[in-house]
Structure 1
Amino acid sequence: MSDVSRPLNVKSEIGKLKKVLLHRPGKELENLMPEYLERLLFDDIPYLEIAQKEHDAFAQILRDNGVEVSYLENLASEAIVEDEIRKQLVEDYLDEGNIIGKGSREVIKNYFKELNNKDLVEKMMAGIRKTELADSKDKSLSDMIDSRYPFVVDPMPNLYFTRDPFATIGSGITLNRMKTETRNRETLFAKYIFKYHPRYRNINVPIWYDRKEGSPMEGGDELILSDKVIAIGISARTDAVSIEKFARKILYSDESFETILAFDIPKRRAFMHLDTVFTMVDYDKFTIHPAIEGPLTVFSLTKNKNGGDKLNIVKEEATLKEILKKYLELDNITLIRCAGGNLIDASREQWNDGSNTLAIAPGEVIVYSRNYVTNRVLRDHGIKVHEMPSSELSRGRGGPRCMSMPLIREDL
C-alpha cells in the first residue's frame, strides 16, 4: 500500500503534505471576555470576522498547493450520525463540562435536541451562555444560586489550534490529555472521529497515548524529525512521565521509530510548546528561538534489548546542533534564528510565533506575513515561503503549525 493511500500517515515534519485537519474559528471566539481570558488561556480577543478571513486564506494556500483540507467540525458531525453515538457524545460533553445537576443536564439535552449534528458540534465548541437557557424552569439548586459567571458551559476558543488535542504519528495518533481542564474537553471530538467516523471506524487506529491518562501531553510538543526519530518537549504542557508512557507504546509497536528525544525546555508561557521555539523546514534546516541553542539537556529513549517494555534512557548535554547532527546522521545542520537573532526584532516576532512554521514540502513553508524579518531570513536560506495574513489569528498565541494537524504526508 502506498504511503498516501493510508488513512493516516505522518513520518516526518517535512514530507509533502497531502491531507490536513483544520478548525475554522467560530463563535467560541465571540464568547471570550476580558474578565476570563486567563481562564481560557488567551491574552487578547480576536475579531472573529477577520480571523475567519485569515483562516480561509490559510486553507486556500494549502489547497493551491495540492493539500486536501478537512475540518474538525465536519468530521465530528459526520461521526455522530447514529442516535446512540450522538447521545453518548452529549453525555460525555456534559460530564466534562462539570454539569452535574440533573435538572441542568435535562435542560441542555432538550436544548441540543433542536439542533442538527453540525449545529450541535458548533454549539458545543462555542459554549453555552446562561441567557440561552434563561427561560427554563427546570433548573438545579446550584443554578438558582446567584452567580455572575455568564456561561453554563465554557467556550473552547483554543480549538483552532488543532495541533494540540491529538497528533498523527506514523499510522496512529496520540489522543492527548491536555494540561488544563478548559482544553481537555477539546479532545472529545477526536475521540469520536477516530472511533466512529466512517473513514476510520473499521481500521482500528493505533492510540499511542490516551486522553484517559493522568498526566498531560500536547501535540505542540510532538515533532517527527524522521521515520526513526521523534522529538518531544518536556514543557509547561507535557510531563516527562507522559513521554515515557508514549515511548514504551510506540517503540515496541510495528512502526519504524527507534528513538524518542525528550527536550527539557523552560516551563513558561513564552516556551509553551517545543514547536513555539523550534520547527523543521528542510532536511537539514530548522527555525529556532536562540534561547534553545544550548547547551541543552536532552534525554534519549530507546528500546531495551532485553525485551519487555523497558526503556534505555540516556541523559545528554550538548548543543541543539550537535544533538540533531548525531541523531539525524547529518554532517551539517543550519539553525535559522527568529528574526536572524536581532534582539528587538526577534522578541517582537517570537511573540507572534516567528519560529512556528508549517512545512508543506521539504524547504517550503507557510508563515505569518507579519513576521517579515524572519521570513526574509528564511528566504535568504533558500526556503520557499508562503505568507498568510495574521493580524487576528496571531492574538491566540499560535502559528501555522499550531493551527494544522497533518493527517497524511508523503514518505521522504
Structure 2
Amino acid sequence: MVKSEIGRLKKVLIHRPGLEIERLTPDLLDRLLFDDIPYLEVARKEHDYFAGILKDNGVEVEYLEDLTAEAIAEPGVREKFIEQFLDEAGLLDEYRREAVKSWLSKYNNKELIVNLMSGIKKTEIDNLVDRSLADRVNTDYPFILDPMPNLYFTRDPFATIGNGISLNHMKTETRNRETIFAEYIFNFHPDYKDADIPRWFSRYDKKSLEGGDQLVLSSEVLALGISQRTEPAAIEQFASEILRSDQSFNRVLALQIPPRRAFMHLDTVFTMVDFDKFTIHAEIEGPLVVYSLTLDGEGQLQISKEKSTLSELLKTYLGLESVELIRCAGGDLIDGGREQWNDGSNTLAIAPGEVVVYTRNYVTNRLLEEKGIKLHKMPSSELSRGRGGPRCMSMPLVREKI
C-alpha cells in the first residue's frame, strides 16, 4: 500500500548490481542505455551502503533476484518463465534455445535468475556453433542473451500505487524484459499471488509508461511525467483505469517535461521531500506544461490544461498554505547542470522531511539541510554513472499512511 511519496517507508524492493554491470563495453553503451561503465566492486559497496541506510531506519529490504527466484519455485513455473524470457529476448532459433536451456538446467532458481540478469556470453555455452545465416553474420557479437545493467533502477518496471500496481511497458526493448520479473513475482510469489492486487496498467500494452514518471503526491492526487520514456496516451489510459477503480484518487496531474537524456523521467527533475517541500530542476520550470485528468459526473475522463504555476497547483490540489520548490544547486547554471546530471533532484523519502541523497550533490544537499530536511547521504561515484539516484534505485512496496 502506497498513498504518498513521503509516508514512512516500511518495505522496499531493490536490486544489488551484478555481473551485468561488468558486461558493459564502450560499443554496447548505446544499445544498453548507459553513458559510462561503473566499476562493479565499488558500485556494490555503494549499493550495500544504501541498503544499510534503509535497514538502519527500520525498512524491510527485499531483493528483486530473491523474490523472483522464490516466485518460480512452483512446479512448472520455472519452465514457463524460461520460455517467456527467451521469447522476449528474441532467442527464437530452436538449436540455440535448447543449448541455453540445457546450460541453465544445472543452476538452482537463484543462480538461474542471476545468470539471466547478467546475460549469457556465447563462450559460456559449450560447443555452440553458428548454424543459421543470422548467426554467421553476427558472429562477432559476444552475447547470446544481452545483459540487463539497468536492473538496479527498480523504480521503473512497475509502481506500487494505492493498493495496486502499475506493471509498466518500458519505452525500449532493452528494458522491457525487466518487467517479466515483476510479473512473475505478483503472479506466483506466495506473498503476493493470492492478494488480489489490482493492476492499473499492463506490460503488454504497446504504449510506454515508466515508474520514474509516476509520483504519488497524496492519497488523492498523482503526478505523471510526459517525458522521454512515457507517452501521453499511456498516461491517459492509466488515469482512466485508476480514477475509475480506486475511489481515493481523484486527479492525475500530467507534467510535460523536455524529452532530454538529463531529464529522462519526472523524478529526475522533481521529487517530494516533505508535506510542502519539493526538489526541482530550475530548467524545467519555464517550459513546464501541466494538464489535469479527472472524471466527470458520468465517469468520463476529462482533460484540461492548467494555467497556474506549479507552486499554485500544488498548493491548491494538496491543500497547502504554502509550497517551497528547492531548486537543484539553487538554480545555478553550472552547479545546477552538474548536479542535475548526477541526480541532485532525485531523492528517496523514507519519512516526511527525511530523505536519502547522493553525497556528491553537495550544493543541493546544503540547501535541503538549510530548509530543515534530514539527509542520509550515500556514496555514489559508480552508481551515478547509470543516470539514476536513490529514488530510481528503490521501489516502495509499503509506506505508512500520513
The question of a shared fold, defined as TM-score above 0.5 by the shorter chain, is answered with yes
The answer to whether the 8 Å contact 1:302/1:313 transfers is yes
1:61 aligns with 2:53: yes
- Residues 329 and 295 of structure 1: CA distance in aligned 2, closer, same or farther (over 3 Å): farther
Partners of 1:340 and 1:346 within 8 A in 2:
yes
Counterpart in 2 of 1:365? 355
The whole-number CA distance in structure 2 between the counterparts of 1:171 and 1:64 is 26
What is the Cα deviation at residue 343 of structure 1?
A: 1.8
Query: How far apart, in 1, do the equivalents of 2:305 and 2:246 lie?
Result: 26
Q: Quick check: 1:358–1:367 contact (8 Å CA) kept in 2?
A: yes
| Distance change (3 Å), C-alpha of 1:111 and 1:255 | farther
1:154 pairs with 2:163: no
Residues 95-132 of structure 1, C-alpha deviation per residue, up to 9 Å, x if partnerless?
11101111011111101111110000001100011111
| SS of corresponding position for 2:294 | strand
SS of 2:86's equivalent? helix
Q: Is 1:285–2:277 an aligned residue pair?
A: yes
Runs of 5+ consecutive residues of structure 1 not aligned to the other structure = 1-8
CA distance, structure 1, for counterparts of residue 67 and residue 314 of structure 2: 37
* Amino acid across the alignment from 1:329: G
Do 1:292 and 1:320's aligned partners in 2 also have CA atoms closer than 8 Å?
no
Q: Distance in 1 between matches of 2:132 and 2:102?
A: 15
2:134 pairs with 1:142: yes
Residue 323 of structure 1 deviates from its aligned partner by 1.5
**Structure 2 partner of 1:396:** 386
Alignment check: 8 A CA contact 1:281 1:364 kept: yes
CA-CA distance at 1:270 after TM superposition: 1.3
Contact 1:304 1:312 in 2 (8 A): yes
State the TM-score, normalized to the length of structure 2. 0.98
Which residue of 340, 349, 358 maps to 1:350?
340
| 1:18-29 map, 5 Å | 18-29=10-21
1:296 Cα deviation (Å)?
2.9
| Alignment deviations for residues 37-93 of structure 1 (CA, whole Å, 9 cap, x no partner) | 011000000000100000000000001101000000000000001231100110111
Tell me by how many angstroms 1:134 deviates. 4.7
Aligned residue among 95, 98, 101 for 2:93:
101
Aligned to 1:273: 265
Aligned counterpart, 1:325? 315
Supply the AA of the counterpart residue of 1:318: S
Q: Secondary structure at the match of 1:252?
A: helix
Q: Are 2:214 and 2:224, in contact at CA under 8 Å, matched by a contact in 1? A: yes
Residue 12 of structure 1 and its aligned partner are, at CA, apart by 0.2
SS at match of 1:168: strand
Counterpart in 1 of 2:327? Answer: 337
CA contact (8 A) 1:175 1:208 kept: yes
Match of 2:169 in 1: 177
Cα separation, 2, equivalents of 1:289 and 1:341: 7
Give 3-state SS (helix, strand or coil) of 1:312's partner: strand
Structure 2 residue corresponding to 1:236, chosen from 224, 228, 243: 228
Report deviation, 1:347: 1.1
Q: Aligned residue for 1:127?
A: 119
Query: Residue 145 of structure 1: CA displacement?
Result: 4.2
- Kept in 1, the 8 Å contact 2:258–2:287? The answer is no
The aligned residue for residue 85 of structure 1 is 77
Between stretches 120-129 and 250-259, larger displacement belongs to: 250-259
% identity of equivalent residues: 64
For residue 306 of structure 2, give the secondary structure of its aligned residue in structure 1: strand
- Runs of 4+ in structure 1 off by over 6 angstroms are none
Alpha-carbon shift at residue 292 of structure 1 (Å) = 2.2
How far does residue 36 in structure 1 lie from its aligned partner after superposition? Answer: 1.1
Offset of residue 139 of structure 1: 5.0
TM-score normalised by the chain length of structure 1: 0.96
- Coordinate RMSD, CA, aligned: 1.2
Partner of 1:215: 207
In structure 1, what is the equivalent of residue 105 of structure 2? 113
Contact 1:296–1:318 (8 Å) recurs in 2? no
- 5+ residue gaps, structure 2, are none
> What is the CA distance between 1:342 and its match in structure 2?
1.9
- Counterpart of 1:120 in structure 2: which amino acid? L
- CA distance in structure 2 between the partners assigned to 1:135 and 1:191 by the alignment: 34
Query: Are 2:29 and 1:45 aligned?
Result: no
Q: Structure 1 residues 152 and 206 mapped into 2: Cα distance closer, same or farther (>3 Å)? A: same
Q: Write the distance in 1 (CA, Å) between the matches of 2:151 and 2:251.
A: 30
1:187 to 179, 183, 187: 179
Distance 1:317 1:94 in 2: 48
Q: Distance in 2 between matches of 1:326 and 1:137?
A: 64
Secondary structure of the residue aligned to 2:72 is coil
Pair 1:227-2:212 in alignment: no
Judging changes above 3 Å, is the alpha-carbon distance between structure 1 residues 148 and 138 closer, same or farther for their aligned structure 2 residues? closer
SS in 1 for 2:307: strand
- Does 322-331 or 18-27 show the bigger shift? 322-331
Residue 104 of structure 1 contacts residue 139 of structure 1 at CA under 8 Å; is this kept in 2?
no
What amino acid does structure 1 have at the position aligned with 2:292? S
